[in-house]
Amino acid sequence: MSTGATAAAQGKMVNAFTAADLARLDPQTRATVERRARLLGPAYRLFYQKPVEVCRGRGVYLYDSAGNEYLDAYNNVASVGHTHPAVVRAVSEQMATLCTHTRYLQEGILRYGEQLRQTFDGPVRDYHTMFTCTGSEANDLAMRMAMHHTGRSGIIITSEAYHGNSFLTAGFSPSLGERSPLGTWVRRIPTPDSYRMPIRELGQRMARHVEEQIEDLERRGEGLAAFIADSLFSSDGIYSDPTDLLAPVAEVVRKAGGLFVADEVQSGFGRSGDRFWGYQRHGIQPDIITMGKPMGNGFPVAATIVAPDIVKGFGRDMRYFNTFGGNSVAIAAAQATLDVMQTEGLQENARRIGQAIRDGVGQLASQFEVIGDVRGAGLYVGVELVSDRAAKTPDGAAATYVVNSLREQRVLISATGNDSNVLKIRPPLVFDDSNVDRLVTALEVAFKGWRNHA
């Protein structure tokens, strides 16, 4: 492995506990970590150099066994807040009534499907909904349908994309690490880096890269089945703008007979603030849409939304069934979560509070040279840290320090990007102004500490 590759691999551990951290732990925590390793094995990862124990959650807070409160500025799974009473009640009542699969007629799944459709626009409102348990399953199903529909196998992704951990989806999720193999039918294009590239050129530049990879796939007999992207490019480093990137890409993809798949697992359900779905910010109509994580506020439920002409042949030739996908309790969780999002105005809250976070960090940038760029949409914020503003040199060490400094202040965030130098701030949608103040204050302390440390 080259020096650069080694550095990148190490950088991806920025928010992970490693064996080197074990000696720093108090005896009780160390014993728990060692017991966990013995029982669960080495493939699991813990967050932070000093792992966080959590025993309960409420709203935007997590608590350990000693009652210490942590501000959760990272968790997009509990999108409407940890243990939201409406979701807890819906799940409990449904579990006490019935939990079964989709081969029986049930009103709940139809009611939810109709309400979900209303969040889309244009032709997508007539698409079909196929339920799964996780975003990985949703993306896996999307690609199976794309390959069946097109008769081709090629998939194009961005350079640090993450789309799942099934065998198929791990094969087109390069962010899993240098040693996680990509499929021979997978091609990558560069991250749309709005910090380092001229914004006006990004859309056409991205489309040209896609064209080049399509030509390579065709030359090698694979052809293009689909291009898939998270429209906030979360694992690439959080690039929310410009919003004219994906339309020219979609045009190139469809010209080659491929499908455009919008992965909304990270960017959907109102998180971007200005629109309910991330792809809507780009003014496009995907052929397939996938969703998961925040859909059930912690209960495993996900879905693949697909155009009728694509699923028609798949349903005829392949069929589809998922024992737990779309079960009665999962749908109750999804219904309650969607109701809360809409009745509590959480999309608008994401827009307003997300702007407050970016404004607050932007003010810190005037004090701390390590802050190179502040970007994002709604409650998905990226803060790029650099060792040299003029050269825009990524500083993964600074991100490691800041993330772990915040953890010591009991504020939880993470980091992302190829060099793991972009702070990833992605709180529940119920974050409020007081939470912003605490977050920005903690960041100021962390940046002061890094300046003194460096």
Q: Quote the pLDDT of residue 20.
A: 77
Nearest-CA neighbor of 183 among 217, 146, 136, 133?
217
Q: What is the rounded (10 degree) CA torsion for 202, 203, 207, 210?
A: 60
- Note whether 225 and 155 are within 8 A (CB): yes
Structure tokens at 349: 């809250």
Q: Which CATH number fits domain 85-344: 3.40.50.620, 3.30.1490.20, 3.40.640.10, 3.90.1150.10?
A: 3.40.640.10
How confident is the model at residue 19, as a pLDDT?
Answer: 72
**Tens place of pLDDT per residue across the chain (454 aa):** 233 333 344 445 556 777 777 878 888 888 888 899 899 998 888 889 889 999 999 999 999 999 999 999 999 999 999 999 999 999 999 999 999 999 999 999 999 999 999 999 999 999 999 999 999 999 999 999 999 999 999 999 999 999 999 999 999 999 998 899 999 999 999 999 999 999 999 999 999 999 999 999 999 999 999 999 999 999 999 999 999 999 999 999 999 999 999 999 999 999 999 999 999 999 999 999 999 999 999 999 999 999 999 999 999 998 889 999 999 999 999 999 999 999 999 999 999 999 999 999 999 999 999 999 999 999 999 999 999 999 999 999 999 999 999 999 999 999 999 999 999 999 999 999 999 999 999 999 999 999 998 6
- Tokens representing 126 are 């007539």
- Residue 146 in contact with residue 288, Cβ under 8 Å? yes
- Burial (CB < 10 A; 0-12, 13-18, 19+), residue 217, is buried
Contact 16, 46 (CB under 8 A): yes
pLDDT for the residue numbered 319: 82
CA distance 47 to 28: 17
From CA 148, how far away is CA 142, in angstroms rounded? 10
Nearest one of 398, 410, 403 to 49, comparing CA atoms: 403
Cα dihedral sign for 219, 222, 224, 229? negative
Query: How confident is the model at residue 17, as a pLDDT?
Result: 77
Q: Which of 114, 9, 10, 11 lies closest to 421, judged by CA?
A: 11
Predicted confidence at residue 14, as pLDDT, reads 58
Q: Which residues pair with 188 in a beta bridge?
A: 157
Instruction: Give the list of residues 6+ apart from residue 167 with CB closer than 8 angstroms, or none.
Output: none
Q: How far apart are CA 85 and CA 222, in angstroms?
A: 49
SS3 category, 264: coil
DSSP track, 167-206: HHHHTT-GGG-TTSPPPTTEEEE----TTTS-GGGHHHHH
User: Where along the chain do its domains lie?
Assistant: 73-80+346-453, 85-344
Secondary structure (3-state) at 274? coil
Rounded to whole angstroms, what are the CA distances from 40 to 19, 45, 46, 169, 321? Answer: 15, 10, 12, 23, 30
In Å, how far are 23, 411, 443 from 437, measured between CA atoms? 34, 12, 10
Alpha helices in 304-432 (DSSP H): 308-317, 328-343, 346-365, 396-408
Separation of alpha carbons 419 and 235, rounded Å? 11
Residue 13: per-residue pLDDT = 54
In single-letter form, the type of residue at position 248 comes to P
* Other Cβ atoms closer than 10 A to 17: 18
Q: Show the CA angle centred on residue 269, arms to residues 229 and 164, nearest 5°.
A: 40
Q: How far apart are CA 146 and CA 73, in angstroms?
A: 35
CB contact set of 231 (below 8 Å; sequence gap of 6+): 246, 262, 264, 267, 278, 279, 281, 282
Whether residue 299 contacts residue 99, with contact meaning beta carbons closer than 8 Å, is answered with: no
Task: Match 């108090």 to its residue by tokens.
Answer: 26
Domain 73-80+346-453 superfamily per CATH: Aspartate Aminotransferase, domain 1 (3.90.1150.10)
Preceding amide of 242 cis, omega within 30: yes
Confidence at residue 146, expressed as pLDDT on a 0 to 100 scale:
98
